[in-house]
């Protein structure tokens, strides 16, 4: 089974802090994604990557950046955390073929105070 591991289940940070959310997948998937999930809004795509060192903006990239230095790892960075970034963050990966199923991690619930 594909395993997508997010380093923290719960995270509490202060406004203005730089925050790193880490995601690792163990199935050599080319594609990796970061979504945020908010009640009543569903999942919204923040950034995605189709290859090492490659990144593309999703629908809501403002306030975020990403890093993909190795194929198995995709990091989401909040340069200066704000309270409106309090949310559940979900990482996902998929094979290189378009529209292959997404495999999700269990999520990181980030609270910014």
Residues in contact with other proteins by CB under 8 A are 4, 33, 35, 40-45, 48, 50, 56-59, 90, 92, 98-99, 101-102, 104-107
Q: HEC string of 6-61?
A: ECCCEEEECCCCCEEECEEECCCCCEEEEEEEECCCEEEEEEEECCCCCCEECCCC
Q: How far is the CB of 62 from other proteins (least distance, A)?
A: 16
DSSP 8-state secondary structure symbol assigned to residue 100: P
Closer to other proteins by CB, 11 or 45: give it: 45
d(Cα 55, Cα 66) in Å, to the nearest integer?
7
Q: How far is the CB of 103 from other proteins (least distance, A)?
A: 8
Closer to other proteins by CB, 11 or 50: give it: 50
Closer to other proteins by CB, 17 or 47: give it: 47
């Amino acid at each position: 089974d594909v395993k997508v591991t997010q380093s923290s289940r719960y995270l509490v940070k202060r406004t203005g802090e730089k925050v790193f959310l880490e995601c690792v997948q163990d199935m050599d998937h080319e594609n990796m994604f970061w979504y945020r999930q908010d009640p009543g809004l569903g999942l919204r795509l923040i950034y995605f990557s189709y290859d090492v060192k490659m990144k593309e903006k999703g629908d809501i990239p403002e306030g975020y950046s990403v890093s993909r230095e190795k194929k198995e790892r995709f990091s989401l960075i909040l340069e200066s955390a704000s309270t409106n970034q309090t949310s559940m963050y979900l990482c996902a990966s998929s094979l290189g073929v378009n529209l292959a199923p997404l495999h999700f991690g269990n999520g990181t619930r980030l609270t910014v105070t």
